[in-house]
Structure 1
């Protein structure tokens, strides 16, 4: 009597490890926060709606770092991250802005909201198309091409931050909100260099000061979130022309090096 070996089922894998699941779970949480922001906007709970988008941005900022720390990067995670970003930072802010202000615009308010969501989707599609391209001068220099999706959402919601901070109803006027929304949409799909995390360097002598400042900002976010978020959005906006000037200087330096080598 011969013994038969156990049958091996083709196509049944060994499963995936927790280190691969964890970053994708964080990305899924960000997507759910973005959807929840829309839910609160529909019931006109504006603060909760904006908080949901902010929390989605926080999760979006850490999911990639968790993946690299756990060596759990995957193409699936990259695609899920882009889909999450479209929902949380394109569709959700567009719905919030429309219900908060743009619906008061005759006929074309919805077109402005659609334009913002569309530009966010186009930006992320461009990012996915270039994800395997090694020669990206902006990325190699530590810059982003255009405003990233989370930054675009934060800038788009700047009028709401201002409204929460001051109570000034003019900030809700669609005549101000619509042009601002379209400007931010353009910044997301533009080729303008914007600051990436790699461009920020803390001198060793200021390390303790930077850690203390981060702690104070975190405490202020809990006690006075809207003025702090407004200030952060304005600082990021001010960094855009600084990034443009900085990258122009780097390009000139590279050109001089190439001319010298020739």
Structure 2
């Protein structure tokens, strides 16, 4: 046998543990919180489909169900320690559909299409403001006072617009796109909700409310009474609650200004070193 034909020495077998350590692990997806997010996304999609078929009461219910589910996914993730970057991105995309695109399309189909160019422009402004508000929230999450939202949160803005539609539909107003007065009211409310999302106005976030602490018995009684009041007439009560919340930020802003307290100015990035929250 020629020297050049020598059989190479066998490489030592690598340990299975070393191979598994070198091999990149696939990142899984937490199923529980993302189920809530997907359900919220379905609520927004369902609302759009119902509006396309002229069933605006069901569209409103779809958006409000999406709101409830959206409020649960984050809490479930924190309680079960299943937070992830994937879940955060999924939640933002779901919010954009359910509280950005869905309300804009529903109100356009319900009333604004009768106003011509002004109608679809305002619907787009609302949709664009929802996207800007969500993007600003994601980028500024580390520099704001957690007790407050910077601008009206998108679920509350959606509740203002959709709540008004639900109240009017429940009262028997049909073919609103042909009723100029109601259509202009819808346009004004949609513009108000959209612009308020991106203004530098503080809205209480309720994030400092802990569900792990004990509360007096009277608090449970108050919650039961609240549920009973909502069930008296859900469209009117829910719209009234969100209308009050929708102006509360301006009241807080005016109060802080009157007392000489600092009101935060949030830019579109956390890269600026002198960013400050609502601490004052």
Please, what TM-score do these two structures have when normalized by structure 2?
0.76
Matched, 1:94 2:104: yes
Which structure shows the bigger proportion of residues in helix conformation?
1
- Deviation string for 1:12-40 (max 9, x for gaps)? 43x647xx321122111111110110000
Matched, 1:29 2:30: no
**Conserved 8 A contact 1:163-1:171:** no
Q: CA deviation at 1:188?
A: 0.2
Secondary structure in 2 matching 1:72: coil
Q: CA deviation at 1:246?
A: 4.9
**Conserved 8 A contact 1:94-1:116:** yes
- Deviation string for 1:221-262 (max 9, x for gaps)? 445211221221222134223322454448369xxxxxxxxx
Match of 1:143 in 2: 148
Matches within 5 A, 1:30-109: 30-109=40-119
Aligned partner of 1:10 among 23, 26, 29:
23
Q: What value does the CA root-mean-square deviation take over the aligned residues?
A: 2.9
Q: How many pairs align?
A: 242
Matched, 1:160 2:165: yes
**Conserved 8 A contact 1:221-1:228:** yes
Matched, 1:175 2:184: yes
Secondary structure in 2 matching 1:230: helix
Q: Distance in 2 between matches of 1:192 and 1:164?
A: 31
**Conserved 8 A contact 1:89-1:149:** yes
Greater relative contact order (Cα < 8 A, sep 6+): 2
Q: Which region of structure 1 is more displaced relative to structure 2, 209-218 or 159-168?
A: 159-168
Alignment CA distance shift 1:16-1:247 (3 Å) = farther
Match of 1:213 in 2: 222
Aligned partner of 2:253 among 244, 247, 253:
244
Alignment CA distance shift 1:113-1:224 (3 Å) = same
Q: CA deviation at 1:210?
A: 3.0
User: Which has the greater radius of gyration?
Assistant: 2
Q: Which region of structure 1 is more displaced relative to structure 2, 230-239 or 62-71?
A: 230-239
Please, what TM-score do these two structures have when normalized by structure 1?
0.81
Secondary structure in 2 matching 1:147: coil
**Conserved 8 A contact 1:165-1:227:** no
Secondary structure in 1 matching 2:149: strand
Q: Which region of structure 1 is more displaced relative to structure 2, 82-91 or 224-233?
A: 224-233
Alignment CA distance shift 1:209-1:250 (3 Å) = farther
Alignment CA distance shift 1:107-1:52 (3 Å) = same
**Conserved 8 A contact 1:156-1:180:** yes
Secondary structure in 2 matching 1:98: helix
Q: Which runs of 5+ in 1 are unaligned?
A: 254-262
